[in-house]
Amino acid sequence: MSAVPISRVAVVVVSYNTCALLRQCLDSVSVVVPPERIVVVDNASQDDSVLMVRQDFPHVVLLPNEENRGFAAGTNQGLRHALKEAPPPEYLLLLNPDAFLRPGALAAMVAFMNDHPRVGAVGARLFYPDGRPQEGAWHFPTLWMTVFDLFPPRGPLLGRLYASPLNGRYREERGSEPFPIDHPLGAALLLRRATLDEVGLLDESYWLYAEEVDWCYRCWQAGWAIWQLPQAEVVHVAGASSRQFRGRSFVALHRSRLQFFAKHYSPEFQRWNRRIVRAGMLWASLQAWRDQLRGQIGADELRSRLLAYGQVFQLTQDA
């Protein structure tokens, strides 16, 4: 198979109030991809993101929205624009605005896809800004993963279970060889255009979270493989410096998970998952009250957590 040059790659970045991070992201990718092949979809940011792109990256394609359309819809907007270009790209890189390519990352991903024509997508090896490795390769969700997410194991022996395949992890992620996976974390995901043509774009009914899991599941159903490539290194900021509880994101995550299960999993799986989630929300509420009594969180934080836990509990009742 003849090699596809980097110039036949398009990059789609969906931004929302991430001006400083977006600048670093575009700095990292604009040195390897022609700017006219980089599409930034801004979902009505309230900061200076749009102005920054116009001033500092004038040749990058900027698609500013007047309202926040959600991540999946914003991504599809960028993909549709990129696919209309002539000649159309052979590969499309979905890159989060808080993800920065290390040198050689994109070239390694493109070379791997060139050599493996039945690989529909490839994910990168992710690192936090301080150099710590970040989990970037995952099995499709299971009930055990729901249990470990809501009831994290304690102690060194149980902690090993948390980082095991039982909890969706891949032991191969610490190695140096590429390996097949169910889905990567979507911070840096290179897609094959032929796979998009067959599988379709992202499901826009997901507002935030799980849209890449859904796409990879459909990719798997269609017979395409997905791999992680350790040689493609990407720095991903998310979660690196803050453990603050964010209620809206927490609720959105669980809403998207329930939506994914309703679309792809059996009714029996969904019943057991809802039971586990309800138990998890009750347990988390007790933990929040305990933390408040110990002075570890204030009254406002307690209210925020209890509100979010209650909303997720209600989602399992409505499903």
According to the model, what pLDDT value does residue 180 have? 97
CA 319 to the chain's CA centroid = 24
d(CA 149, CA 136): 16
The structural architecture, per CATH, of the domain 6-236 is Alpha-Beta Complex (3.90)
According to the model, what pLDDT value does residue 243 have? 42
pLDDT, block means (10 residues), the chain with 319 residues: 71 96 96 95 95 97 95 97 93 97 96 96 96 94 95 75 82 88 96 98 94 97 97 85 66 96 98 98 97 96 96 90
CB atoms within 10 A of CB 290: 11
Reported as half-sphere exposure (CB side, CA atoms, 13 A), residue 252 has a value of 13
Each residue's pLDDT tens digit, 175-234: 889 999 999 998 999 999 999 999 999 999 998 899 999 999 999 999 999 999 999 999
Within the chain, how many helices (H) and strands (E) appear? 11, 12
Amino acid at 143: L
Task: For residue 110, give the nearest of 32, 195, 6 by alpha carbon.
Answer: 6
According to the model, what pLDDT value does residue 3 have? 61
